[in-house]
Each structure stands twice: as structure tokens, then as C-alpha cells.
Amino acid sequence: MIRAAVEADHPALARLFEEMQAYYAVPCPPRGEIETSLAGRPAGTEILVAEESGALAGFAAFSAIYPGPGLAGGLFLKELFVGARYRGGGHGRALVRAVAAQAVARGLKRVDWTADAGQPALLAFYEGLGAAPKPDKMFFRLDGEALSRLGGQG
């Protein structure tokens, strides 16, 4: 079952976030900080969860973006993650389908996301959904010292 995340999901979502961070081999804050971050996430950030037998199997986090094609809006899928024990059960596909349904219901024209180029199985999964890679686009990130320098005072 796919549904919108609610506050009661925060502890289970925090565990999924920890698993996601470990999967990508990146640092993870303590669980309490994750739960605080979930409660105070930026306005407009939405999270859908996949549930199986009362447990959270995965999630999709997304936000609206504007402008898009024809000056219409779209959605940006920031994270899609399914816990290891639930992979292959259709949860990822169901989550992406639910995000696409949100876009259609809102009259939005597209859903965008990024993917790790070095994961052929993941790329095949997305292409199997009907998504097309956009090799004419590049992904940029401003963070760390560069973000501080550009966005700081003076």
C-alpha cells in the first residue's frame, strides 16, 4: 500500500533513512536528529511510503518545481529508496507510479530525478518504467565551502 507519510511514521522512516545512508556509504546523523529533521522538513516536501504487513518498506520524497515545459510545473523526485528486504517486491515501481499520479492529478507536465550513473540495474529499472535518460542535461551541486562562499555575507 502506498500512502502519504504521517508523523507516526517518523521513527520507521528514520530507520529507512539510516539504511539508505549506509547503502550509499555516506555519513548519517544520529536517529534523533533524523526524526527532528523529518518533523521540520522544508515546506512543500512530500513523502510517500510503501507499506507491507504494517512495516514501512520504502519511501519517495519529492517537491513541486516551477517552471517546466510550457511554463507548467512538475515534480522533482529527490529520493526513492526501498529497504533491502523488500526489494524486488514492486514497491519502487508503486512509489514512482504514485508520484506520477500526483503529477497527473495536479496537472503537472513531468517528474524529474537523478540517478547514479554507475548503477546499471537502477538505470534499467527507471528505463523499464518508461523514463528516458536526458544525456543533454548535467547535474550540478553547490555545497560545502562553495555554497558558503557564494551564499555567505560579503
Average pLDDT of the chain is 94
What's the confidence (pLDDT) of residue 79?
96
CA distance 108 to 44: 15
**How confident is the model at residue 68, as a pLDDT?**
81
pLDDT tens-digit readout, 130-142: 999 999 988 888 9
Query: Rounded to an integer, what distance in angstroms lies between the CA atom of residue 46 and that of residue 42?
Result: 9
On the question of pLDDT at 154 being above 70, the answer is: no
Look at the chain and count its residues. 154
pLDDT for 95 equals 98
Q: What is the CATH number of the domain that holds 80?
A: 3.40.630.30
Per-residue pLDDT reduced to its tens digit, 38-83: 999 999 999 999 999 999 999 999 999 999 878 889 999 999 999 9
Q: Compute CA distances 88 → 22, 57, 85, 114, 122, whole Å.
A: 19, 11, 9, 21, 12
**CA-CA distance, 103 to 150, in Å (whole number)?**
33
Residue range of the domain that includes 25: 2-151
Number of domains in the chain: 1
Percentage, residues of the chain above pLDDT 70 = 99
In this structure, are residues 21 and 70 in contact, taking their beta carbons and an 8 Å threshold? Answer: no
The pLDDT assigned to 28 comes to 96
pLDDT for the residue numbered 70: 85
